[in-house]
Structure 1
Amino acid sequence: MVNPVHLRTLLEVIRLGSFAAAANRLGYTASAVSQQMAALEQDTGIRLFERTARSVRPTEAAAVMAGHATIVLADIDRLLESAGSADHARQELRVSLYPSLARTVLPRLLRSPGWLAHDIALRLSVRDPSPAIQAMRRGEETDVTLVYWVGERGLSWPRSLEPVRIGEDPMRFVVPSAWRLHGQGAVAADQLVGRPWILHHPGSSDAAVVDAFLDEHRLQPRAVARCDDFAVTLDIVATGYAASLIPEIALGDLPAGVEVLDVPELRLSREVFALVAPTAPAETAALFLRHAEEVLDDLGFDSRLSRERPDGGR
């Protein structure tokens, strides 16, 4: 049976003139396109390309197949559109949010009777703020993108996006219980100097800011591990291996062996923003943000919706 995906790829190869160009357009690798075309040739028993060391050239049979494929794929699209017409009648909202927020807020929101009563179809993408904003710059369509701004620096975004402040998410110092720093009330910053730390991988959205913050306060951290998964980081801290900075929203139920310290000299927070696209359905986006704020309030966070643009937003 012929795979419709392979037919769509064939159309792009013929239209653009090469496997590489089609791969770039479709988001595949050139090798994946080559494999799809080989599979299509095997499924149909027709040679579709003349291959040389430097190029591939579609055969006359490929051109004929492409003409028929255009008709077949149009029929498939109409079939899917007809079958999905009932679902399309629902309101839809495309939302991107980062993992720690998704893990804490999203399950509560999706189970909320108030939210369920609106019958809104969410199309979700869970990823770090930096690639989410890069995707928007490339033209990917998202109605609401949840990101964070750390300290006095952070990500920048296009001015066409309206930033709505959701709330504040303080960063907390988490250390192994075995260090015996807890139980003393407030802890002085110098008690953390030279300790082993678990830091973010360079390139993640707040890695540079956290590294600069630790350096600024002369903590001289020894980076003994790099991890961008907060749940894994907490498990490592519990072993006594190292300390870390974790956003409060990601703490959840602390594993045994982990303590959260109060270090009055050292304060760092994430300001959480929703970036609302100008094309977003305004009422639906506002409903989503209101319910997200209610979840954060229930969790005890400082959340209030307001229109603010940090100095770096652009």
Structure 2
Amino acid sequence: MLNLAHIRTLTEVVRLGSFTAAGNRLGYTASAVSQQMASLERETGIRLFVRSARSVQPTQAAQAMSQHGSKLLRDAEMLVAAGNSAGGSSEATLRVGVFPSAATFLLPTVLQSPQWQRQNVSLNIVIGEPSTTVPGLRAGGELDVCIVYQVGESGLVLPQGVRRTWLAEDPYKVLVPAKWGLTAGERVLANDIAEMPWILHLRGSSDSNVVESVLANGGMHPKVVASSDDFNATLRLVAAGHGVALVPQLAMTQCPAGITVVQVPEIALSRKVIGLCAEGAPTDVVDAFWEALGQTSMEKDESGS
């Protein structure tokens, strides 16, 4: 009979690409991983890896076994969960990856809602940018769902079998320091605001490229006085009078004093908030989670709009 621990190790080796990385993930030494894989090869009579002096490459047989093994592991985990339920421990766990703004302003609302608390489901949360969390949705990965954002048509590279659910539209707002004397909701010409100092995303990301493209299409090539991917820092710099910024509405839920939101017709930008579900994730629990998220009030913070 195959050892489930060896199957789990195999899926991590194939997913991460090396014995060392898999060992770090699971708490084994690279030597222990190698021994487990050698044992699995003996048990199955199948060559799983091509070994050379410098690398270890999984064969097609290893990749196929890893894919089927991840389903076997999930089935085994479901049996364990069912056993726990029969023994009086009925709480399920949902493994969630989420980007920082949503972790700060969406998840606490979900966790505190009576609707979600009735589900008797605990969340195991990983906070990070989509590029960090989405790989965890691969077969045999460490996440069941991810909450991610997409700016414009910037691409999201998804593992095979991942399902998408649209959650919300998160429009960007143009923020200026209140001390500059503009009125909330005032229409400002692109030519006028282009002459002001700006706080923008760090260059190089897909988000930054989209923002720069939108500004360029409006005839704006602003002077950048700060670069930040931390919206909390950006908000406080705007409040301190350092410059203009584009910030998504979700990140403005706890906006500090000293900021005015203005309208710039040439700037129309939003990001989609999307739910991603791994193949094999518990459908009923995931659906309940999406429903609870749908009850959150992303649209409530209309300050300055």
Task: Give TM-score scaled by structure 2 length.
Answer: 0.68
Change (3 A) 1:214 1:198: same
Output the CA distance in 1 between the equivalents of 2:127 and 2:261: 27
Whole-angstrom distance in 2 between the partners of 1:299 and 1:281: 31
Aligned to 2:295, what secondary structure does the other structure show? helix
Q: What is the match of residue 105 of structure 2?
A: 104
1:90 is displaced (CA, Å) by 1.5
For residue 187 of structure 2, what is the aligned residue in structure 1? 186
Q: Are residue 172 (structure 1) and residue 173 (structure 2) matched? A: yes
Match of 2:269 in 1: 268
Question: What is the CA-CA distance between 1:298 and the residue it aligns to?
Answer: 6.7
Q: 1:90 — aligned with what?
A: 91
CA distance in 1, matches of 2:234, 2:116: 32
Contact kept, 8 Å, 2:139 with 2:279, in 1: the verdict is: no
Which is further off, 155-164 or 291-300? 291-300
In the TM superposition, what is the alpha-carbon distance from 1:135 to its structure 2 partner? 3.9
Deviation at 1:88, TM superposition (A): 6.3
Match of 1:214 in 2: 215
Query: Matches of residues 23-34 of structure 1 in structure 2 within 5 Å?
Result: 23-27=20-24
Q: Secondary structure at the match of 1:153?
A: coil
Q: Could you give the per-residue CA deviations for residues 60-82 of structure 1, whole angstroms, max 9, x where no partner exists?
A: xxxxxxxxxxxxxxxxxxxxx9x
User: Could you give the per-residue CA deviations for residues 40-63 of structure 1, whole angstroms, max 9, x where no partner exists?
Assistant: xxxxxxxxxxxxxxxxxxxxxxxx
Whether the 8 Å contact between 1:174 and 1:259 is mirrored in structure 2 is: yes
Deviation at 1:212, TM superposition (A): 2.1
Are residues 1:287 and 2:284 paired? no
Cα deviation, residue 198, structure 1: 1.5
Letter in 2 for 1:24: A
CA distance in 2, matches of 1:187, 1:266: 10
Q: Distance in 2 between matches of 1:87 and 1:266?
A: 56
**Number of paired residues?**
237
Q: TM (normalized to structure 1)? A: 0.66
| Matching residue of 1:146 | 147
SS at match of 1:265: coil
Report how far residue 184 of structure 1 moved.
6.8
Could you give the per-residue CA deviations for residues 260-301 of structure 1, whole angstroms, max 9, x where no partner exists? 112222110111110111211111000000000101367369
Would the alpha carbon gap of residues 259 and 211 (structure 1) be closer, same or farther in structure 2, given more than 3 Å must change? Answer: same
Residues 224/300 of structure 1: CA separation in 2 closer, same or farther (3 Å cut): closer
C-alpha change, 1:283 and 1:219, in structure 2 (3 Å) is: same
Q: Which of structures 1 and 2 has the bigger CA Rg?
A: 1
Residue 232 of structure 1, CA deviation: 1.1
Write the mapping of 1:1-314 to structure 2, written as runs, cut at 5 A.
23-27=20-24, 89-136=90-137, 140-183=141-184, 185-204=186-205, 206-296=207-297, 299=300
Change (3 A) 1:258 1:283: same
After TM superposition, give the deviation of residue 148 of structure 1 in Å.
1.3
Secondary structure of the equivalent of 2:297?
helix
Q: Percent identity?
A: 35
Displacement of 1:117? 1.2
Partners of 1:281 and 1:247 in 2: CA distance: 31
Paired residue for 1:45? Answer: none
Write out per-residue CA displacement over residues 98-128 of structure 1, whole angstroms, 9 at most, x where no aligned residue. Answer: 0001111111111111111111011111111
Cα deviation code 1:79-101 (max 9, x no counterpart): xx9xx957964212111110001
- Gaps (5+ residues) in structure 2? 1-8, 30-79
Task: Provide closer, same or farther for how the CA distance between residues 210 and 154 of structure 1 changes in structure 2, counting only shifts above 3 A.
Answer: farther
Runs (5+) with no aligned partner, structure 1: 1-11, 34-80, 302-314
Q: Which residue of 2 aligns with 1:46?
A: none
Question: 292-301 vs 95-104, which deviates more?
Answer: 292-301
Is this contact kept in 2: 1:130–1:204, CA < 8 A?
no
- In structure 2, the residue matched to 1:6 is none
Q: Measure how far apart 1:257 and its partner are.
A: 1.6
